[in-house]
Structure 1
Amino acid sequence: MASSSTNDERESALSLAEQAEAEAEAAEAEAAAARARAAELRAAQTTESTDSDETTDSDAAEADADLEEISDEASPAAAAVDTESRGRRKWIPAWPVLAVAAAVVAICGLLAASGFMLWSSQREADRAATDAEYAAAARQGVINLMSLDFNQGEADLQRLIDSTTGDFRADFEASKDDFLTVMNESKVVTEAEVRATAVEQTGKDTATVLVAASSQVTNSAGAEQQPRAWRLSIDVARDNGQVKMSKVEFVP
């Protein structure tokens, strides 16, 4: 509403200025005609008689009075035109400056928004890649933990130890021989399958991953047990650039 009112005022001011200019031009034309008339009357004074001189002087005086009146009428109009012109010179140059400033602000805003969107998109991509790395490490760790064959027990246990870190790794290394003995005596083969993973929470180079898995056990006689479902909470941590299991908990 304020912008519309301002535009109406400017249009009204321009209209008044144009009208004043027209009136000033008309007044100047009348003044020029009066000056020409007075000049003609003065020239006629040298050729006419004394009686005619009196008449001419009277006419010339009348013409001079008309000229003075027209000049008086023209002066305010000319002054109004001059004042309006000065007023227009004050606000017209401001519009290009305001337009440029608005354009600069708009461009800066667009650049800032684009930068933020790019940064946010890159951050989400990095987070998704890191979560995928954590989930893959947890998946492989569960397979190494639950897929064991007594025929190659030492290799399977070493693979499991290599996928762990921290205290969890230390515990497996300390009980490796006992574990091998149990595997050889039981003569069982277990195979695991991971059905789903989900990153529950993340920290600096650490994460907790929920894993849904199942295992199939076969004994030395070839008898198979029914597959068993497992739910596990796996803690993983980065160790020398690789993500490894640092803790395993079975979830009821």
Structure 2
Amino acid sequence: MTRIFAALALACALSSHAWAGAVVSIHDVPSGLEWGIVCGAVIGVFLLLVVASVRSGRESTRGLCALAALTVMVFGIGPALALDSDGTRPDPVLTPGAVRTADRHAICAHATREFRHVTVTEKVAARRAYGIMGEHGGWCGAGGCEIDHRIPLTVGGGNPRGSIANLWPQRADGPFGFHVKDRCEASVGRALCAGRISVEDAQAIFRGDWTVGCAPYLARAPRRAAK
């Protein structure tokens, strides 16, 4: 029985984070709270098993329980707790990014509004993936959040229908809110279309830590810029 519980805990741990990382479909995305409840219950069971095994002196069982419980705590508390973020940067597992094209002409010859089709359902799913309930829940706070594209449309980022792989709830408040990222996106987009930066390098700025990659572009970007 103990081994069965161990297998369930490991499955809970691995599936919660890995499943969230394969966020391809917007349907039935579990919230971080839901994963937390499930995996938290498993942890509780294992703590009881650990205590019982200590009293019985069964070393192998105790070690197995401890390892499984630790794995759950590290990897399986759910998407909401699986990232070290305050809404400034996207989680690379939950939001790996998506690219529409790497062709400079295809990017610069079209307005981003032609490809910006994020549905209400997709927005809700993106928030739920991060464990955020409502427009002002979690780190969104009073200022709210924008459902942003990790790789911006201005540099060839994608907006696949029925997918949230490139979407995440970015907060408005703080030194690196979505208004600041909007300015960077516009500045990098101008540099791209002027031939001063390659498409690959432009997209790489946002694949990594955008607050670092955007620094030189924010220094010369106007205070307000359309996304």
Band the TM-score falls in, shorter-chain normalisation: under 0.3
Of structures 1 and 2, the larger Rg is shown by: 1
User: Which is helix-richer, 1 or 2?
Assistant: 1
Taking structure 1 as the reference length, the TM-score comes to 0.23
Higher relative contact order (CA 8 A, sep 6+): 2
Bigger strand share: 1
